[in-house]
Chains A and B, each alone.
Chain A
Amino acid sequence: MILAVAGLSKRFGGLTAVAGLDFVVGKGEILGLIGPNGAGKSTTFNLIAGVSGADAGEVCFAGEPILGLAPHQIARRGIMRTFQHNRPFAGMSVTDNVLVGAHVRFSRRVFGNAGEERAQRDRAEGLVEFVGLSGLQAADVVTLSFGQGRLLEIARALAGEPRLLLLDEPAAGLTPVEAERIAGLIRGIAARGIAVLLIEHDMRFLLPLAHRVVVLNFGAKIAEGTPEAVRADPAVLNAYLGSHAPA
């Protein structure tokens, strides 16, 4: 068990965004966090990623509490994330973007470390290939399509050699073909022993991909289990009734 969330709560003024949330993620497991709009998925994500502070609860990563740490400290612990709306570093090439992802892996030397620089660059270029952006290593990120940008987000996050990967709606805005490719990529990542926590709207994307799913509604967990079990859960069907009815 690499990530343990217990009693997580967050309010915004009078609105309870997340209420007493508990779940765990195992090593090499793909856990999907799903729920209708406003269910609290993004808030939960941000709490774990260190972007906002929680009001109550505990988050333990590899046995260490991480709630309240700043985003860069979270990254240093081994949790990397992607963004829902691609956030590339616009002034740099694809490889350089990925190299920023490896920031935490560099020794702090700037002189006489040509060897390390070269090794990291080779690794980064390899990652660019791995996610499926072959040949685009030297390209300006502004020339990438939206779908390619999504792949870059993942490559960049992987560069940090995380033990847990947080994916923010990885399939959003992608064509079915691109979505399938990303799903395959995610499976490959989990197969390497990296835990993946992803938030997603779309049950159809999640079903064949996630090992387990946690369903949120109004900030609370209403169901948890394998995708098949959850999909048939009456509480879940109720929550989704009228909006994204699962196929």
Chain B
Amino acid sequence: MIVLEASQLRKTFRTRGRAVAAVRGVSLRIAAGEVQAFLGPNGAGKTTTIKMIAGLIDPDEGRVSVAGKDPFRDPGALREVGAVLEGNRNVYWRLTPLENLEYFGVLRGLSPHEARRRALPLLERLELADKRHAPVQTLSRGMQQKLSIAVAFIHHPKLLLLDEPTLGLDVEASEAVKVLIREIAAEGHAILLTTHQLDVAEELSDRVAIIRKGEIIAEETTTELIRRFSGQAYTIEIDGELPSAQQQVLAAMADVEVQAGQVTYVGSPEGLYQVLDLLKPLPIRRIELDVADLTEIFLKLIREPPHD
């Protein structure tokens, strides 16, 4: 089931007579249970897009549908949206975690009884139960961030928008947040995740969308994207010294690089056998297909000249 359908979103901001096109025709679709990583450099239009989806910024063009409802025309659509926004506290520091969950639960449309009923197990799950009566300002950054996600999730929205949920967290807290995100997705909620920590995006996401200067430049499943950018470079480690005649033949090949004890070949699998033939009879210690990571792919894509 498609939870989020944003199509052809456009937004231009005008400041001091200057028009800046922040988002130019962005479309996103996220199904239930899916985590979509939404990546892009600073100022690419990620936060503007997220805020348009959450109904906080009115798009100039395009439409948003969350579980079939438009957040701009039907305020009931916001029952299906939860958001943790980057750079914000998102919760009241003077209240305790339990009080925050109860308050925001009611603000999102739950009854006080239901908000309290959901709050306690949620705090248990986040290992915050023993801190439920401590003012939020006394909690660690990791605990505060877990609470922000819990507050965004208290009404069990179909769509959760997480803007930099692991930013500034230590390793342990970051792991806890990642586990929570995985669990929420596994329960059938759709998640749109923006982050600059590309290892986090690679670990958590089912799909990736990369935005540059307000336009989506790549949008596909994470595994397909990685596969598309991988599988072209092989590293072959050999034992012993390669005879100079073979070295010269290999070095003459355009897609081969020879180093001490190692040959790198970039090309098709068929061509790999030609290289292996040239390495005979030296023992081969290891052959490895170079798998691209999301960081390399991201950098490659955003540095590519734009296609007009």
Partners in one complex: no
- Interface of A toward B, CB cutoff 8 Å: none
- Interface of B toward A, CB cutoff 8 Å: none
